[in-house]
Structure 1
Amino acid sequence: MLSWISYLGLAVTACIAATLLPMQSEAGLVALLYLDPSAVYGLVLAASIGNILGSQINWWLGRQLQRWQGRRWFPFKPIQLNRAQKWYQRYGRWSLLFSWVPIIGDPLTLVAGVLREPFWRFTLLVSIAKISRYSLLAYATVHVLNS
């Protein structure tokens, strides 16, 4: 049986992984499932909540981003922001269902904030993506462990 620290650690790792900081929460989920496969529902819930929260942080940062755009230290060039905005406008809010995809998912959640996607809609679409991602990973892991 896993302690509450395991669930909290997974949620924090998943939260950090959903921001623009590089981190992998999938390895933590698989390792914890290896230790206790019966904890699958709690682990998927902890990872999903943490990852959704991290995406919401990105959304909030996106809302604040344009305020700092003229600063010399600003990390994005105007052409990068323009390209990301055009991509999001082309594919629309439904592209948030791909927020789980490595490399493009985290910047996508940031751009949704820049373009002022309503928070409730953003959270709903990102939640569907993140819960599906961790559920499929957990199912595959438990299936392999039981083989």
Structure 2
Amino acid sequence: MSDYWLLFSSGFISSTLFPGGSEVLFIYYLKQALNLKWGYFLAVTFGNSLGAITTYLLGYYFSFGQDKAALKYPKTLAFCKKWGNIALLLSWLPVIGDVICLFAGWLKLPRTTAFFNIVLSKSVRYLFLMWLFIY
């Protein structure tokens, strides 16, 4: 059970504005116990999605740091303005994905669609990793 919590925590931390390596941990656990792959997948996907949603909500409800982020990532902000919730399909990308979630909240993009796109993006990433390292 502690493996699931560790994967959840790693996924959560990795998808907030803090660096992390949930992919490496996920692959490690897959190689240790392949029969638990779907439990591992759900734990890391849920944690990673929840972390990204938290970043979105921080952007939505709090404005600290967004001006600084806008100056540092002007192309990402322009991309989010242009594509709206579709941009969140790239929330799986390292570093920029976190900023996309932050800007999506800051721009007050519709929550339901935003959350769906975040979960979809994160799920596809971990499914791809699972497929890549198992088959």
Q: Is the structural similarity TM-score above 0.5?
A: yes
Q: Which runs of 5+ in 1 are unaligned?
A: none
How far is the alpha carbon of 1:110 from its aligned partner?
A: 0.5
- 2:88 maps to 96
- 2:106 maps to 114
Are 1:132 and 2:124 counterparts?
yes
Report the TM-score when normalising by structure 2.
0.91
CA RMSD in angstroms, aligned pairs only: 1.9
Task: Give the whole-Å Cα distance in 2 for the aligned partners of 1:65 and 1:84.
Answer: 19
Contact 1:85–1:115 (8 Å) recurs in 2: no
CA gap of 1:83–1:9, structure 2 versus 1, over 3 A, is same
Are 1:58 and 2:55 counterparts?
yes
- 1:15 maps to 12
Task: Give the whole-Å Cα distance in 2 for the aligned partners of 1:88 and 1:35.
Answer: 39
1:37 to 20, 34, 37: 34
Q: Radius of gyration: which is bigger?
A: 1
Count residues in correspondence: 135
CA gap of 1:33–1:77, structure 2 versus 1, over 3 A, is closer
The share of aligned pairs that are identical, in percent, is 27
Task: Give the whole-Å Cα distance in 2 for the aligned partners of 1:108 and 1:12.
Answer: 21
Task: Give the whole-Å Cα distance in 2 for the aligned partners of 1:30 and 1:49.
Answer: 16
